[in-house]
Structure formats: C-alpha cells, structure tokens
Amino acid sequence: MSKAPATAKVGRARTAYVCAECGTDHGKWQGQCAGCGAWNTLSEFVIEPAAKAAASGGATRRAGWAGAVEAPKVTALKDVRHMEDARVSTGIGELDRVLGGGLVEGAVVLVGGDPGIGKSTLLLQAVARMAATLPALYVTGEESLGQVAGRAARLDLPLDGLQALAETGVETILEHAAAMRPKLIVADSVQTLWTESLTAAPGSVSQVRESAARLVRYAKETGTAVFLVGHVTKEGGIAGPRVLEHMVDAVLYFEGESGSRFRVLRAFKNRFGAVNELGVFAMGDKGLKEVPNPSAIFLSGGSTRQPGSCVMVTREGTRPLLVEVQALVDSSPLSNPRRVAVGLEGNRLAMLLAVLHRHGGVLVGDQDVFVNVVGGIRVQETAADLPVLLAVLSSLRDAPLPDKTIAFGEVGLSGEIRPVPNGEERLREAATHGFRRAIVPKANAPKSGSVKGLEVIAVERLADAIDAL
Ligand code: TYD
Ligand code: MG
C-alpha cells in the first residue's frame, strides 16, 4: 500500500536512527547516542512526513475498502457501533476464554512463547476452524506450505476455505490481502517479516516493529483480525519487540514446562477482556487439546500427604484454580542462605519469611528456602502468601498439613491475614474437589452459613494460622 501513488506532492520518507533510551534522532548509525551517551541503543526507523502518511491512508481507502474507512469526524460516542459486539468464536473454548469471549473484529493479537511450545499448532487449529465461516489467510514465514499442509493433515483439520501464503515481505502480504480480503490473518512469525522501506536485516527490532505496525494499520483500516506469532527470547521479552506490546490489542503468552505436556495460555494484556485469564491445553499426538477443568492437573496427584506441601485456591482471570505450593527448608551451608521462588515472586518470599519470624516466632534465617508452584504455573496474586508460609512451616517441622486441607490469604507486614477477592467461590471450588478443611482469612469465611462439606477455619493473625495446624 505504500507503493500506491500519492496524489499530493509530498516529501520522501527517510530513515532515521533513533535511540531507544532518549529518543534522539540521528542521520546515520553510530555506536553511541549523541544525546544521552548510551551505547548500542540506536535502531533504524522509517519516518514518513505527515502529509505522505495521510496520503497513503487515502490510497488504502481508494483500494476498495468502501465503507470500511471514512474521513474522521466528530461523532457522539453513544452512536458509535461497539466493536466488541462483533466477536467470533475461534472454535477453541480455552482460546476464546483468554481472548475475553472470542476474537474481536479488527483486533491484533500477539501470541508469544518459547520456540516449540505450540504457537503454530494452536493458531493453525484455530484458523482452520474459523475458516469454515469466514475468509482466513495463514501466512507462514518459517515453514513451507507443504509443511503446513502436512501438519494440518496430521491434525485432521478441516481445510475448506483456508488460504495460505508462504511470504515474509509485508508489502507483498498486504497486496495479497487487499485482493483476497480475508477477515482473519495469521502471521507466523513476526520475526520473519520485513518491509522494503528499511535496510535493516529481517529479524532486527526496527524491521519487526515497522512490519507489525503496517499490519496493525491494515487491521484497523479494514476490520481484519490479525494474529501475530512472536518468539520469546531467552531474556523473556518478545524478541526485540517489547515495543510490540503497546501496538497490539492483546498479548497472550504461551507457557509450559519442558517435559510437561500441559500448556498455559495467559492474557498479559487485553483491551477486550480480563488480564491474567488462563487457558489450559494438553499437547498430544493430535495437537493441542483443551483442558476445561484444569484444577486437577496442577495438584501433584499423589494422595500421600508430604511435608512441605500446601494446596491453595488461586483465582487467575475469571475462574478459581487449585494449585499445590511446595516448600523445602533445609539447613544452609552458606552464610547467606538461599531463597528461591519458582512460579512466585522472589522478593515476596523474602518478605513473608521476615513476617514469619517477627509475627510467628519461627526463624529460618539459617536455612535455605525453596518454594515451587507445581505444574509450571505462575501465581501472581497475594492469596498465595498464607499457603507459602504454611508449606514452609510444614517443611521446617517435617510434618505434613492435615489431610484434605486448602489455604489462601494475603499476609500483611504486621502479621495480619487479609482477605482476597472471591473467597466463597474459591471455597466452593475446593469443596468440589473433595477438600474438607480450609484455612482462610476471617473476612473470607462464608457469610451465608457454610460451604457444604467444608470445615472453614477463619484466621485473623498469622499466629492463629500456625495454631490451627
Ligand atoms: P509448534 O506449534 O511448531 O511450536 P512453535 O510454533 O511455538 O514453535 O509446536 C511444535 C512442537 O509441538 C513440537 O515439539 C512437536 C509438538 N507437537 C506435538 O507433540 N503434537 C502435535 O500434534 C504437533 C503438531 C506438535
Ligand atoms: Mg512455529
């Protein structure tokens, strides 16, 4: 679309090297930013004069998206059609859940994750199902069409209506899209995309950013939904494009432990739904299968009670989930004992151990403390505080918690146990899975009498919780 002849006589687009730290604009690449003195922070950008950018928008309008785009004018907001009304199901319930109830027209969704985690598989499954009802285009820059077709055949996917394209040049992709007018585009992956307007190598930050920006613009102008696949680098950010995160409408991360067949899709940002919503899948020989009732898989499964283990009810997104927190406390040979938290925040663990000493009278200063959430899941809410301390205590004393017991609750710095949202819903989830006893904040104890089959031990202070054991 950038090739469409501009009607107005306008200045040429130029490339500039912009510092990621301070934003200073340089005419050529250099190692050190002249503005702030930082090293290796310059990357290449296309800078279009404003008039030209407007003209290219006009060219797209003329290219045949009649009705899709109108000249902007001031409008009463209550008369505007809600974009979120136009949601379509992806045909995969757990993916719909993470998206906030289906895919919104014109939404750009970035799906990130480690290589091999199953991003291509998930999106191929989704797009194949959606292609039955709306025109869809699967653009692959990593695999050949033969590979994609082979995978689709192995997964027994319906392929009617699904169009595919092996291409990495954004201009070419958009030309094909303008001819075909899909309602859904999958670009796998964003790291392989490049645009003619930059000289930087494909995969570089500026190429990824600019290519994604073009697809975003196209999506907004035409109401086409776009899935972008992005690989996560070892450092954890989507390669280069932390910058992508604010350009797109939703960022979903695909997580999972290597060796485990379970995969968790998490909404990290979502303009059309709740963040931290989880979708759970299992990878099998027929691709990814939904796990609609995930509580069971995050418990270690063994019925024997072990010291250092506490089951908690977390509420990630909109549903409660039972997960097991494990702790190992062991006398340390180091003068500075280790505190290691996997699936939880490390600083919070250190803080909780201080509260345990100060308000519970339990000293672990000379012990290494390891805490892990089973199943490779990450718990980000404070409801994990109490279970973590109970698991630590259980390991320290080498005594398992009472059978069929769950806990949740935030622990404050003065040793008080604070309530967490949706207490009753969590208690019901625990009862459904056969738990008999719950150690919970006083304010979370059920107001409407009791939860069937569950003995609720309401605690106000950390010392009460320790006594309850
Ligand atoms: P893939 O979707 O290619 O990962 P990504 O696009 O995130 O890099 O997934 C590839 C992995 O999934 C690979 O290790 C094999 C495994 N897999 C299965 O176990 N079963 C299947 O049916 C498929 C298609 C893949
Ligand atoms: Mg892939």
> Based on the domain organization, do 265 and 303 belong to the same domain?
no
Judged by its nearest atom, the ligand closest to the C-alpha of residue 189 is: 2
- CATH number for the domain that contains residue 339: 3.30.230.10
| Mean pLDDT value across residues 315-330 | 88
- Does residue 157 carry a pLDDT above 80? yes
Protein residue with least CA distance to atom 21, ligand 1? 287
Angle at CA 185, nearest 5°, toward 184 and 188? 145
pLDDT band at 51 (very low <50, low <70, confident <90, very high): low
> Based on the domain organization, do 244 and 193 belong to the same domain?
yes
Q: State the distance from the centre of ligand 2 to the C-alpha of 462, rounded, in angstroms.
A: 47
Q: State the distance from the centre of ligand 2 to the C-alpha of 225, rounded, in angstroms.
A: 19
* Atom in ligand 1 nearest the alpha carbon of residue 189: 6
- For position 6, what pLDDT does the model report? 42
Task: Answer yes or no: is 61 within a domain.
Answer: no
Which residues 6+ apart lie within 8 Å of 10 measured at CB? 49, 51, 52, 55
Task: Answer yes or no: is 464 within a domain.
Answer: yes
Asked if residues 457 and 433 have their Cβ atoms less than 8 Å apart, the reply is no
Task: Answer yes or no: is 144 within a domain.
Answer: yes
> Based on the domain organization, do 239 and 310 belong to the same domain?
no
Residue of 95, 121, 227, 263 with the most ligand 1 atoms within 8 Å of its CB, for mutation: 121
| Mean pLDDT value across residues 47-72 | 51
Q: State the distance from the centre of ligand 2 to the C-alpha of 115, rounded, in angstroms.
A: 7
The answer to whether the CB of 288 is under 6 A from ligand 1 is no
- For position 205, what pLDDT does the model report? 80
- CATH number for the domain that contains residue 103: 3.40.50.300
| Mean pLDDT value across residues 410-438 | 92
pLDDT in tens, 366-376: 999 999 998 77
Protein residue with least CA distance to atom 24, ligand 1? 287
Task: Answer yes or no: is 261 within a domain.
Answer: yes
| Mean pLDDT value across residues 85-101 | 90
Burial of 386 (0-12, 13-18, 19+ CB in 10 A): buried
The answer to whether the CB of 119 is under 6 A from ligand 1 is yes
- For position 207, what pLDDT does the model report? 87
> Based on the domain organization, do 267 and 354 belong to the same domain?
no
The answer to whether the CB of 283 is under 6 A from ligand 1 is yes
The answer to whether the CB of 261 is under 6 A from ligand 1 is no
The answer to whether the CB of 191 is under 6 A from ligand 1 is no
The answer to whether the CB of 123 is under 6 A from ligand 1 is no
> Based on the domain organization, do 46 and 182 belong to the same domain?
no
Task: Answer yes or no: is 432 within a domain.
Answer: yes
Judged by its nearest atom, the ligand closest to the C-alpha of residue 142 is: 2
> Based on the domain organization, do 212 and 247 belong to the same domain?
yes
pLDDT band at 360 (very low <50, low <70, confident <90, very high): very high
Using the structure block, give the residue that is written with the tokens 């699904």.
162
> Based on the domain organization, do 307 and 413 belong to the same domain?
yes
Among candidates 156, 164, 209, 170, which has minimal Cα distance to 182?
164
Domain count, the chain: 3
Percent helix, strand and coil across the chain, each rounded to 5? 30, 30, 40
Angle at CA 339, nearest 5°, toward 335 and 342? 155
- Does residue 303 carry a pLDDT above 70? no
Helices 170-180, 205-222: inter-axial angle, 10-degree rounding: 10
> Based on the domain organization, do 108 and 236 belong to the same domain?
yes
Among candidates 389, 413, 407, which has minimal Cα distance to 444?
407
Task: Answer yes or no: is 205 within a domain.
Answer: yes
- Does residue 23 carry a pLDDT above 80? no
- Does residue 3 carry a pLDDT above 90? no
The answer to whether the CB of 270 is under 6 A from ligand 1 is no
Q: Structural domain of residue 445, as residue ranges?
A: 297-468
The answer to whether the CB of 156 is under 6 A from ligand 1 is no
What value does the CA radius of gyration of the chain take, rounded to a whole number of Å? 26
